[in-house]
A and B are shown apart, each in its own frame.
Chain A
Amino acid sequence: MFSIRKKKIQNPREISLSIYKKRWLKFKTMKRGYYSFIILIILYALSFALPLFINNRALLVKFEGRYYFPAIAGYYPGDKFNQDVPGEANYRLLREQWQDTGSDNWLVMPPYPFGPFEDITVKGNAMYEPPSRQHWLGTDDTGRDVFARLCYAFNISISFALILAILNYIIGISIGGAMGYFGGKFDLIFQRFIEIWSSLPMLFVIIIIASIIRPNFFILILIYTLVNWIGMTYLMRAEFYREKAKDYVAAALSMGQSNLKVIFKHILPNSLVPVITYFPFAIVGYISALVGLDYLGFGLPPPTPSWGQMLDIGLQNMSKWWMVFSPVGAQFITLLLVVFIGEGVREAFDPKVYSRLR
């Protein structure tokens, strides 16, 4: 313990980083934000293993002495297991059949044995089933399980927002940073360009582009980045512009440091605070945007589980309340967690102490 402490002090770089450590420790004391952060991280990590928890494919099948892993291996036709169904094996039915006949074959289903894509064409599924012990949040207009779709959509929404945010940050930091640091013609040209770009109604432009090319996940991210990099760029430009005028930059430059080194080693770490505090709120914006686009029908292509699309179907079937409440609720809980994180991060990075003077 002591040796670690000593080492910390010996290495000057560690000291300069300690501000971030301090902030992290501060963030940890924000219970609401910190626990939201933990919950969200765990949920997101788990959501990558969703096929093991929420799936219509069995985890493990023992059939005539051989083992199968449909949840991982994927598609098996029904006749593989001597089941008389069109297309894929219906494992829920299979289990019942085997239990009824007392056969040696057995299978293990995931804890929640419904998939996000299986619809009314699968035997045993029905449309508009209200929430029950079987279907926790009911089924939708094509007999798909709402809860399963909700969970898969969670993973997609968060991934979408994260990738988008990272892309936006890379572009924003590099272009905005260069604008603020170098200034001059480069700054002027980009400023004009940004002014034009920001006068456009972004959602409208995205819809126009998305109506021309039917986007998939990555094209949608690309389109969204294309119209959305402005905000971050402008933020970074202002930061770099302000930092560049400070004495430590002049000192570094007068010592003969290269531009690159000044940008990345000196200015960038100093201009990250607004960027980091903005991050959770950017995520909130991107998740809402994806929901909105999906709702309008210009988001991810239809069978993809998405909250916006579920909401669209729900609002077309207004009397089936679970089809509206579920996606809104899922979105609400997710965004609330992110907002709590954002509040905590902001408090840790940019604390504002308000004192009433009187």
Chain B
Amino acid sequence: MTTYFLRRMLLMIPTFIGSTLIVFTILQLAPGGPLEQTIQRIQMGAAAQGETAGSTSDVMSGGGSVLPESALKELKRFYGFDKPIWQRYLIWLGVYPREVKHRDFTLEPGETEVETRAGKKDGQVWRVTVMRNGDTYTVIDDGTFSEVWKAKAENIDADGTVHGVIYQTETSGIMTGNLGESYTYQAPVTEVMKPRFKISLFFGLTGMFLSYIVCIPLGIRKALLHGSPFDFVSSVIIFVAYSIPGWAMGGVFLVLFGGGSFWNIFPLGGFHSPTEIWEALSLWGKILDQLHHAILPIFAWSIGSFAGLTVLMKNGLLENLSQDYIRTAFAKGLSEKRVVWVHAIRNSVIPIASGIGGVIGVVIAGSYFIEKVFNIDGFGKLGYQAILDRDYPITLAFLVIVVVIRLVGNIISDIALATVDPRIRFR
């Protein structure tokens, strides 16, 4: 068993690499990426300036909106787009050194060394010397070979002038916990994600808890009363719940109870009241306010799994109740209560236990739909918004988290299954 799970854990690595590589490649090959967006923004800014300056045609006709070569280079370096895609992937993973702190230098034809500014150290201008040795470049700092600075030529003019760059390297990426910096929020991805993650977790955990404590007893009751009016009526509700996605139902709730045309009972969305009101509330008021905002989304959240879970429980129990071992138990003279609650139920929760891993994925990753309908700044909405904004670090970080959760969730499912059902032996 242990070896089985160990092997599963090890197999997670190639799967993780494969799935992230696929999305990474799609994102990197896609037009309209951050580079192009930034270029566009700069160009539009330039064009707008040209117009406001009132200077007529010469700005536009002279191709005034074309970005200078150096600025383009700067952008490419910043986003790492001057490297082949596999290198970018490895850099992102954190196993290949990332180049940072680029500084340009120029070597005139025939020169073999040049002094250049590397930045500041201890409040003073830090100058280093780049030495050319054939095709290789070394950086000398304070008379010794520099450990931190590296140099390379970027392009060489026809007359032999070398345009080069000095840079430092660092190895940081997903593996080292560096998820990058968001383009849109101008902050580290982990910091952007943390509060939203908590919000989604809140809805996920409450929603899951609610659906389990409703669905399992309901399923059991339906199985015990199979064919009765109760079974029929609850089946109708299940059909309805199955035929409308939870988030669409959430939209209907909002129209009904959000105060638009019908009743004004619940707020129109958000995680809690706007900050001005929220700050002024007492602790008890905060709790009430939170609940007031959470009821509709949680209800919508739970409906999503309501039908499936109830039917799973009901069918599982029904199937077990028609097994021979139940006949034996009755024949022994056990009471019905004991047969159902001790013998049959234990076997019927097996399929539900194996579904736990999948549920964990949904709990943590949230739901784009419900968060969008109720305008909650949760984790799912963050990922969705990141795609719209072409915010690749967030998109990829979101993906990494979801993929890892799913892979771990699968293993948890198996462990849960093995725990609940001692007959199962993984090899």
Confirm or deny: A219 has a beta carbon within 8 angstroms of a beta carbon on chain B.
no
Q: A201-B406, A204-B402, A357-B322 are in contact. Are A284 and B243 (CB under 8 A)?
A: yes
Confirm or deny: A356 has a beta carbon within 8 angstroms of a beta carbon on chain B.
yes
Are A201 and B399 neighbours in the complex by a CB distance under 8 Å?
yes
Cβ contacts B246-264/A at 8 Å (1 or 0 each): 0111011011001011100
- Give chain A residues whose Cβ lies under 8 Å from the Cβ of B245: 288, 291-292
Contact residues, B331-385 vs A (CB, 8 A): 336, 339, 365, 368-369, 372-373, 383-384
Are A311 and B248 neighbours in the complex by a CB distance under 8 Å?
yes
Which of the residues B32, B248, B369 comes within 8 Å of A328, measured between beta carbons? B248
Cβ contacts A83-123/B at 8 Å (1 or 0 each): 00000000000000000000000000000000000000000
Are A335 and B402 neighbours in the complex by a CB distance under 8 Å?
no
Which of the residues B248, B322, B365 comes within 8 Å of A355, measured between beta carbons? B322
Confirm or deny: B242 has a beta carbon within 8 angstroms of a beta carbon on chain A.
yes
Are A199 and B407 neighbours in the complex by a CB distance under 8 Å?
yes
Are B261 and A319 neighbours in the complex by a CB distance under 8 Å?
yes
Are A212 and B252 neighbours in the complex by a CB distance under 8 Å?
no
The stretch from A11-19, A59-67, A189-197, A253-261 touching chain B is A189-197
- Nearest chain B CB to A7 CB, angstrom units: 40
What count of chain B residues pass the 8 Å CB interface test? 60
User: How far apart sit A24 and B199, CA to CA, in the bound complex (Å)?
Assistant: 50
- Give chain B residues whose Cβ lies under 8 Å from the Cβ of A207: 384, 387
Cβ contacts A173-201/B at 8 Å (1 or 0 each): 00000000000000000001101110111
Q: A200-B19, A212-B26 are in contact. Are A321 and B255 (CB under 8 A)?
A: yes
User: How far apart sit A268 and B191, CA to CA, in the bound complex (Å)?
Assistant: 53
Which of the residues B22, B319, B387, B390 comes within 8 Å of A200, measured between beta carbons? B22
Contact residues, B315-329 vs A (CB, 8 A): 315, 318-319, 321-323, 326-327
Q: A212-B26, A356-B322 are in contact. Are A324 and B387 (CB under 8 A)?
A: no
Are A324 and B252 neighbours in the complex by a CB distance under 8 Å?
yes
Minimum CB distance partner of A358 in chain B: B330
- Give chain B residues whose Cβ lies under 8 Å from the Cβ of A356: 226, 321-322
Q: A321-B260, A328-B251 are in contact. Are A200 and B239 (CB under 8 A)?
A: no
User: How far apart sit A354 and B402, CA to CA, in the bound complex (Å)?
Assistant: 40
User: How far apart sit A66 and B387, CA to CA, in the bound complex (Å)?
Assistant: 55
Are B251 and A324 neighbours in the complex by a CB distance under 8 Å?
yes
Q: A196-B19, A199-B19, A208-B26 are in contact. Are A354 and B243 (CB under 8 A)?
A: no
Minimum CB distance partner of A197 in chain B: B19
Are B31 and A331 neighbours in the complex by a CB distance under 8 Å?
no
Are B406 and A199 neighbours in the complex by a CB distance under 8 Å?
yes
- Nearest chain A CB to B235 CB, angstrom units: 10
- Give chain A residues whose Cβ lies under 8 Å from the Cβ of B243: 284, 331-332, 335-336, 339
Confirm or deny: A299 has a beta carbon within 8 angstroms of a beta carbon on chain B.
no
Are B254 and A208 neighbours in the complex by a CB distance under 8 Å?
no
Confirm or deny: A203 has a beta carbon within 8 angstroms of a beta carbon on chain B.
yes
Q: Which DSSP category, helix, strand, loop or mixed, fits chain A's interface?
A: helix
Minimum CB distance partner of B251 in chain A: A315
- Give chain A residues whose Cβ lies under 8 Å from the Cβ of B15: 192, 195-196, 199
Minimum CB distance partner of B16 in chain A: A199
Are A321 and B262 neighbours in the complex by a CB distance under 8 Å?
yes
User: How far apart sit A295 and B18, CA to CA, in the bound complex (Å)?
Assistant: 30
User: How far apart sit A41 and B251, CA to CA, in the bound complex (Å)?
Assistant: 29
Which of A197, A203, A331, A357 counts the most chain B CB atoms within 10 A? Answer: A357
- Give chain A residues whose Cβ lies under 8 Å from the Cβ of B71: none
- Give chain B residues whose Cβ lies under 8 Å from the Cβ of A288: 245
Minimum CB distance partner of A323 in chain B: B255
User: How far apart sit A353 and B321, CA to CA, in the bound complex (Å)?
Assistant: 11
Confirm or deny: A143 has a beta carbon within 8 angstroms of a beta carbon on chain B.
no
Contact residues, B6-41 vs A (CB, 8 A): 11, 14-16, 18-19, 22-23, 26-27, 30-32
Minimum CB distance partner of A198 in chain B: B406
Contact residues, B96-123 vs A (CB, 8 A): none
Which of the residues A193, A319, A332 comes within 8 Å of B244, measured between beta carbons? A332
Confirm or deny: B388 has a beta carbon within 8 angstroms of a beta carbon on chain A.
yes
Q: A291-B248, A324-B252, A357-B322 are in contact. Are A318 and B260 (CB under 8 A)?
A: yes
- Nearest chain A CB to B162 CB, angstrom units: 38
- Give chain A residues whose Cβ lies under 8 Å from the Cβ of B255: 314, 318, 321, 324-325
- Give chain A residues whose Cβ lies under 8 Å from the Cβ of B242: 284, 335, 339
Confirm or deny: B268 has a beta carbon within 8 angstroms of a beta carbon on chain A.
yes
Confirm or deny: A211 has a beta carbon within 8 angstroms of a beta carbon on chain B.
yes
User: How far apart sit A324 and B255, CA to CA, in the bound complex (Å)?
Assistant: 8
Cβ contacts A125-158/B at 8 Å (1 or 0 each): 0000000000000000000000000000000000
Are A339 and B27 neighbours in the complex by a CB distance under 8 Å?
no
Q: A291-B248, A295-B369, A336-B243 are in contact. Are A211 and B387 (CB under 8 A)?
A: yes
Cβ contacts B378-412/A at 8 Å (1 or 0 each): 00000110011010000100110011001100000
- Give chain B residues whose Cβ lies under 8 Å from the Cβ of A331: 243-244, 248
Confirm or deny: A265 has a beta carbon within 8 angstroms of a beta carbon on chain B.
no
- Give chain B residues whose Cβ lies under 8 Å from the Cβ of A318: 254-255, 258, 260, 268
Are A204 and B399 neighbours in the complex by a CB distance under 8 Å?
yes
Minimum CB distance partner of B375 in chain A: A315
Confirm or deny: A72 has a beta carbon within 8 angstroms of a beta carbon on chain B.
no
Are A352 and B252 neighbours in the complex by a CB distance under 8 Å?
no
- Give chain B residues whose Cβ lies under 8 Å from the Cβ of A354: 226, 318-319, 321-322
Confirm or deny: B240 has a beta carbon within 8 angstroms of a beta carbon on chain A.
yes
Query: 23 A-B Cβ contacts within 8 A?
Result: A192-B15, A192-B18, A200-B19, A200-B22, A204-B398, A208-B395, A212-B32, A291-B245, A296-B372, A311-B251, A315-B373, A318-B255, A319-B261, A321-B255, A328-B244, A328-B249, A331-B248, A335-B243, A339-B243, A355-B322, A356-B322, A357-B323, A358-B330
Given contacts A331-B248, A357-B322, 14 further A-B contacts (CB under 8 A): A205-B26, A208-B395, A211-B387, A211-B388, A284-B242, A292-B369, A296-B372, A335-B244, A339-B242, A352-B315, A354-B319, A355-B322, A356-B321, A358-B336
Q: Please list the residues of chain B having a beta carbon within 8 angstroms of any beta carbon in chain A.
A: 11, 14-16, 18-19, 22-23, 26-27, 30-32, 226, 239-240, 242-245, 247-249, 251-252, 254-255, 258, 260-262, 268, 315, 318-319, 321-323, 326-327, 330, 336, 339, 365, 368-369, 372-373, 383-384, 387-388, 390, 395, 398-399, 402-403, 406-407
Top 4 A-B pairs, shortest CB-CB distance: A196-B18, A335-B243, A319-B260, A318-B260
